[in-house]
């Protein structure tokens, strides 16, 4: 869908090890990805996996050991040609996790700083500052000292400061993680709308999978300094390749399986609960694990005659959480977690028919 | 008035005797040597306390080092500068131990003057100088607290 847009940011084989560490393990270990113009691209991963380090290398706040970084086709870092363009001459802007709003300036002072650095004429700068504040909904706060702002407002100031200079790439380091749940939800929606409106190429860092899935065009899942899997949110959630991806993004019932037959688009596998028809992809021949998400399993009333991918089961526990019911169902001595909408309520002890939709049975590399 | 220094010390270096004959630079130098280390230490801590992101945000906003220093770093540590200055000044102002051997007839610190007056038995005069000295120190201390408060607000 978006693949014909030109690349705006290219990171190739990036390596970075912090020297200060006693046992140097690379913080970023061979990361490569391309962000296309206008794309919202997210680096997702557990704490300490190197997301911030990657972002800081792109910003020029950190010097990698090796690799290449191109912004809009121009080398800003390259080990081979010994290029290292300083941060202030890279066409980027950044929102820090701590916001880094300057406490000794007013709101408009903060937002106009990038324009002053570019020597923008005064009248034009004034207008652009007001426009940026308008976008983030802080137009009435222009003359407030930055210290008299709530966390959410500071976050908006940091945002306005980042968008005011119309940089080619917007770098966002967990900009929502310091907000309370309600505000985070609201800002997430606003961020989405803002990206739709401005269309700025965005590199986003988060450890929150919901945020990543909701906002991004594509997500790179990282672990220990490397990208494990890179795809659209839908593909990562519905048809991940790796067990790590399936476990990190969403929940899953994952168990061992052996492939019996392989057809175009489908595979028949043997596993503890019986024979399962699952989706097949390029990596299927090497797969040894089967994954079904709890909300994709449906429970029906018990019956004698079963079709393929239907199994006899018994509910051993059920937990009511309003919108959904979380069951544990035992099928052939194996426990499956099942999540159903609360339209039909079953209770522990009930015998049920467990239905696994073949297109939601995913084979994984362990 | 004879020099308060032993003659051997005076003769030992031209520099020293120069200072002693004209005692003001000597007092200034000694007080500087005494107060600067603490001041530098305090400034160092306050600079270290500035979150590095505040300066990095200057870079990602497109500013060069000189602009970041002038517009971000300096204003953030300025209140601490004032506070360190006042603290050193107060300490120097009421110093006796380092200055008592260096004062001359025309270059007396108030603290030393109090001691001399007390030795002469002029206790009313001593008290007057003491009150003045206390007020100056009090005023400066209040000023420093005010600056500290501003540092915290900025914090
Ligand atoms: N300045 C530094 N000096 C030494 N080691 C560092 C430094 N910054 C990060 N590291 C290490 O590098 C690794 C990657 O850190 P990084 O900050 O990139 O992680 P992250 O993915 O952003 O994590 P988080 O989600 O917790 O922010 C970590 O193991 C961390 O301990
Ligand atoms: Mg981080």
CATH label of the domain that carries residue B56? 1.10.3720.10
State the nearest Cα–Cα gap between A84 and chain B, in angstroms. Answer: 14
Task: In whole angstroms, give the CA distance from residue A3 to residue A189.
Answer: 25
> Which among A87, A104, A118 has the least Cβ separation from residue B60?
A87
pLDDT tens digits, residue range A92-123? Answer: 999 999 899 999 999 999 999 999 999 999 99
Nearest partner of A161 among A198, A115, A208, A195, judged by Cα: A115
In eight-state DSSP terms, residue B70 is: I
Substitution target in A58, A76, A103, A149 with the highest count of B β-carbons within 10 Å is A103
What is the token pair recorded at B139? 């005023």
Task: In whole angstroms, give the CA distance from residue A45 to residue A221.
Answer: 6
Q: How high is the pLDDT of residue B18?
A: 56
Average pLDDT in the B84-94 region? 84
pLDDT greater than 50 at residue B137:
yes
Task: In whole angstroms, give the CA distance from residue B47 to residue B75.
Answer: 11
Answer whether residue B14 is part of any domain: no
Confidence of residue B3 (pLDDT cuts 50, 70, 90): low
State the nearest Cα–Cα gap between A102 and chain B, in angstroms. Answer: 6
Average pLDDT in the A290-316 region? 94
Answer whether residue B88 is part of any domain: yes
Answer whether residue B116 is part of any domain: yes
A&B contacts, CB < 8 Å: 67
pLDDT greater than 70 at residue A2:
no
What is the percent of chain A with per-residue pLDDT over 70, rounded to a whole number?
Answer: 99
In eight-state DSSP terms, residue A50 is: S
Measured from the Cβ of residue A133, the count of other Cβ atoms closer than 10 Å reads 23
Domain encompassing residue B80 = 20-154
pLDDT greater than 50 at residue B10:
no
Average pLDDT in the A21-29 region? 82
Whole-model pTM: value is 0.83
Nearest partner of A205 among A221, A190, A184, judged by Cα: A221
Task: In whole angstroms, give the CA distance from residue A203 to residue A211.
Answer: 13
pLDDT tens digits, residue range B12-43? Answer: 445 555 555 556 788 888 888 888 888 888 88
User: Taking a C-beta distance cutoff of 8 angstroms, is the pair A255, A272 a contact?
Assistant: yes
Q: How high is the pLDDT of residue A117?
A: 94
pLDDT greater than 90 at residue A136:
no
pLDDT greater than 70 at residue A208:
yes
Answer whether residue B15 is part of any domain: no
Task: In whole angstroms, give the CA distance from residue B15 to residue B104.
Answer: 17
CA distances from A156 to A14, A139, A161, A196, B61 (A): 31, 11, 8, 17, 15
User: Taking a C-beta distance cutoff of 8 angstroms, is the pair A132, A164 a contact?
Assistant: yes
Contacts of B59 in chain A (CB under 8 A): 59-61, 86-88
Closest ligand relative to A62 C-alpha? 1
User: Taking a C-beta distance cutoff of 8 angstroms, is the pair A215, A195 a contact?
Assistant: yes
Q: How high is the pLDDT of residue B17?
A: 52
Q: How far is the CA of A49 from the centre of ligand 2 (A)?
A: 8
Contacts of A120 in chain B (CB under 8 A): none
Q: How far is the CA of A55 from the centre of ligand 1 (A)?
A: 11
Substitution target in A56, A61, A100, A116 with the highest count of B β-carbons within 10 Å is A100
Q: Does B53 contact A100 at a Cβ distance shorter than 8 Å?
A: yes
Q: Does the ipTM surpass 0.85? A: no
CA distances from A100 to A164, A205, B50, B90, B109 (A): 16, 16, 10, 35, 46
Q: How far is the CA of A26 from the centre of ligand 1 (A)?
A: 10
State the nearest Cα–Cα gap between A161 and chain B, in angstroms. Answer: 8
State the nearest Cα–Cα gap between A60 and chain B, in angstroms. Answer: 9
Task: In whole angstroms, give the CA distance from residue B155 to residue B49.
Answer: 9
Task: Say if B57 is an interface residue toward chain A (CB within 8 Å).
Answer: yes
pLDDT greater than 80 at residue A303:
yes
Q: Determine which residue's CA is closest to atom 18 belonging to ligand 1.
A: A50
Q: Which residues pair with A262 in a beta bridge?
A: A267
Q: Does B62 contact A60 at a Cβ distance shorter than 8 Å?
A: no
Answer whether residue B9 is part of any domain: no
Q: Determine which residue's CA is closest to atom 4 belonging to ligand 1.
A: A18
Nearest partner of A238 among A207, A288, A287, A278, judged by Cα: A278
Number of domains making up chain B: 1
pLDDT greater than 60 at residue B136:
yes
Answer whether residue B2 is part of any domain: no
Mean pLDDT of chain A: 92
User: Taking a C-beta distance cutoff of 8 angstroms, is the pair A216, A204 a contact?
Assistant: yes
pLDDT greater than 50 at residue A15:
yes
Answer whether residue B4 is part of any domain: no
In eight-state DSSP terms, residue A117 is: H
Task: Say if B7 is an interface residue toward chain A (CB within 8 Å).
Answer: no
DSSP, residue by residue, A169-204: EEEEESTTTTS-HHHHHHHHHHHHHHHHHH--EEEE
Confidence of residue B51 (pLDDT cuts 50, 70, 90): confident
Average pLDDT in the A201-218 region? 94
Q: How far is the CA of A311 from the centre of ligand 1 (A)?
A: 46
DSSP, residue by residue, A254-274: EEEEEEEEEETTEEEEEETTE
Confidence of residue A86 (pLDDT cuts 50, 70, 90): very high
> Which among A61, A94, A102 has the least Cβ separation from residue B72?
A102
Average pLDDT in the A43-65 region? 95
Please give the residue of chain B at the shortest CA–CA distance from A60. Answer: B60
Answer whether residue B5 is part of any domain: no
Q: How high is the pLDDT of residue B112?
A: 85
pLDDT greater than 60 at residue A1:
no
Q: What are phi and psi of A152, to 5 degrees?
A: -65, -40
Q: Which atom of ligand 1 is nearest to the CA of A56?
A: 18
Decide: A207 in ligand 1 pocket, CB within 6 A: yes
Decide: A46 in ligand 1 pocket, CB within 6 A: no
Closest ligand relative to A20 C-alpha? 1
């Amino acid at each position: 869908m978006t693949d014909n847009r030109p690349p705006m940011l290219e990171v190739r084989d990036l390596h970075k090890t912090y020297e200060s560490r006693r046992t140097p393990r690379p913080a970023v270990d061979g990361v490569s990805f391309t962000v296309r113009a206008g794309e919202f691209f997210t680096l997702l991963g557990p704490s300490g996996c190197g997301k911030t380090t990657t972002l800081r290398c792109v910003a020029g706040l950190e010097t990698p050991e090796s690799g290449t970084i191109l912004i809009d086709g121009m080398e800003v870092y390259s080990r081979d040609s010994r290029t290292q363009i300083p941060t202030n001459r890279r066409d980027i802007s950044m929102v820090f996790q701590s916001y880094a709003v300057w406490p000794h300036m007013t709101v408009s002072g903060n937002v106009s700083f990038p324009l002053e650095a570019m020597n923008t004429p005064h009248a034009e700068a004034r207008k652009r500052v007001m426009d940026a504040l308008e976008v983030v909904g802080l137009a009435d706060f222009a003359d407030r000292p930055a210290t008299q702002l709530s966390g959410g407002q500071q976050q908006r100031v940091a945002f306005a400061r980042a968008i005011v200079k119309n940089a080619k790439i917007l770098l966002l380091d967990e900009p929502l993680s310091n907000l309370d749940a309600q505000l985070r939800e609201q800002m997430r929606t606003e961020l989405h709308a803002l990206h739709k409106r401005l269309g700025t190429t965005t590199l986003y860092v988060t450890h929150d999978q919901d945020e990543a899935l909701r906002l991004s065009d594509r997500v790179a899942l990282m672990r220990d300094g490397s990208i494990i899997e890179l795809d659209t949110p839908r593909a990562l959630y519905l048809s991940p390749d790796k067990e790590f991806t399936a476990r990190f993004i969403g929940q899953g019932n994952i168990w061992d399986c052996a492939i019996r037959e392989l057809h175009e688009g489908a595979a028949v596998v043997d596993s503890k609960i019986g024979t399962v028809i699952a989706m097949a992809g390029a990596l299927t021949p090497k797969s040894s694990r089967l994954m079904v998400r709890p909300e994709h399993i449906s429970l029906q009333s018990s019956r004698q005659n079963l079709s393929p991918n239907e199994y006899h089961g018994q509910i051993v526990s059920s937990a009511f959480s309003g919108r959904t019911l979380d069951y544990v169902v035992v099928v052939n001595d194996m426990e499956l977690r099942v999540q159903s909408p609360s339209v039909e309520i079953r209770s522990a002890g009930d015998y049920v028919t467990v239905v696994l939709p073949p297109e939601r049975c995913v084979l994984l590399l362990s | 008035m004879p020099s308060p220094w032993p003659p051997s010390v005076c003769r030992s270096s031209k520099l020293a005797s120069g200072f002693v004959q004209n005692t003001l630079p000597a007092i200034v130098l000694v007080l500087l040597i005494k107060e600067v280390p603490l001041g530098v230490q305090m400034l160092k801590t306050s600079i270290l306390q500035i979150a590095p992101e505040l300066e990095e945000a200057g870079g990602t906003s497109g500013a060069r080092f000189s602009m970041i220093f002038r517009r971000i770093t300096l204003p953030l540590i300025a209140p601490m500068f004032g506070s360190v200055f006042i603290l050193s000044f107060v300490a120097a102002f009421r110093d006796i131990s380092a200055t008592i051997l260096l004062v001359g007839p025309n270059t007396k610190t108030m603290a030393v003057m109090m001691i001399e007056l007390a030795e002469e038995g002029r206790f009313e005069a001593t008290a007057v100088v003491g009150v003045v000295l206390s007020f100056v120190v009090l005023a400066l201390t209040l000023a420093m607290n005010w600056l500290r408060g501003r540092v915290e607000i900025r914090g």
